[in-house]
A and B are shown apart, each in its own frame.
Chain A
Amino acid sequence: MAKSYYDPADLKKFGNITEWQKELGDKFFDYYGTVFQEGALTAREKSLIALAVSHAVQCPYCIDAYTDDCLKKGVDEEQMMEAVHVTAAIKGGAALVHGVQMMNKVSDKLM
Chain B
Amino acid sequence: MKPATKSLLKIKSRLADPKEQLRILSDNHSLGITSFEDRLHDLGIEPLKPTGVDIFQVNVGKMCNQVCKHCHVDAGPGRKEIMTRETMQLCVDALKGTDISTVDLTGGAPEMNPNFRWFVEQLSKQGRKIIVRCNLTIIVAHPKYYDLPEFFRSHNINVVSSLPYFNAKRTDAQRGEGVFEQSIRALRRLNEVGYGKEGSGLQLDLVYNPSGAFLPDDQKALEATFKSKLKEGYDIDFNELFAITNLPVSRFLEYLIRSENYQDYMEELANAFNPEAAHGVMCRSTLSVSWDGYLYDCDFNQMLELKLNGGTPDHIRDFDLEKLNNRNIIINQHCYGCTAGAGSSCGGTIA
Residues on A lying within 8 angstroms of B by beta carbon are 12, 38, 42-44, 68-69, 71-74, 76-77
Contacts and interface: CB of A to CB of B under 8 A. Distances in A.
A43 B214 contact: no
A108 to B, nearest CB: 53
Per DSSP, are chain A's interface residues mostly helix, strand or loop, or mixed? helix
Contact of B214 (A12, A72, A77): A72
Contacts of A42: 221
Nearest to A38: B221
Interface of B: 165, 167, 169-170, 208, 210, 212, 214-218, 221-222, 225-226, 267
Given A71-B210, A72-B210, A44 B215 contact: no
A68 B214 contact: yes
Contacts of A71: 210, 212, 214
A77 B221 CA distance: 18
A67 B165 CA distance: 17
A42 B216 CA distance: 16
A76 B165 contact: yes
A72 B208 CA distance: 11
A53 B147 CA distance: 51
Contacts of B267: 12
Nearest to B271: A12
Contact of B222 (A12, A69, A74, A76): A74
A12 B167 CA distance: 32
B32 to A, nearest CB: 11
Contacts of A43: 217-218, 221
Nearest to A73: B217
B167 A76 contact: yes
B170 A76 contact: yes
Contact of A44 (B169, B208, B210, B225): B225
A66 B164 CA distance: 20
Contact of A72 (B167, B169, B215): B215
B350 to A, nearest CB: 17
Nearest to A72: B217
13 contacts: A12-B267, A38-B221, A42-B221, A44-B225, A69-B217, A72-B210, A72-B217, A73-B218, A74-B165, A74-B221, A74-B222, A74-B226, A77-B169
Nearest to A75: B225
Given A42-B221, A44-B225, A74-B208, 12 more contacts: A38-B221, A43-B218, A43-B221, A44-B221, A68-B214, A69-B217, A71-B210, A71-B214, A72-B215, A74-B217, A74-B225, A76-B169
B266 to A, nearest CB: 13
Nearest to B220: A38
Contacts of B218: 43, 73
Contacts of A38: 221
Contacts of B210: 71-72
User: Could you say which of B165, B217, B222 has the most chain A C-beta atoms within 10 Å of its C-beta?
Assistant: B217
A69 B222 CA distance: 13
A12 to B, nearest CB: 8
Contacts of A76: 165, 167, 169-170
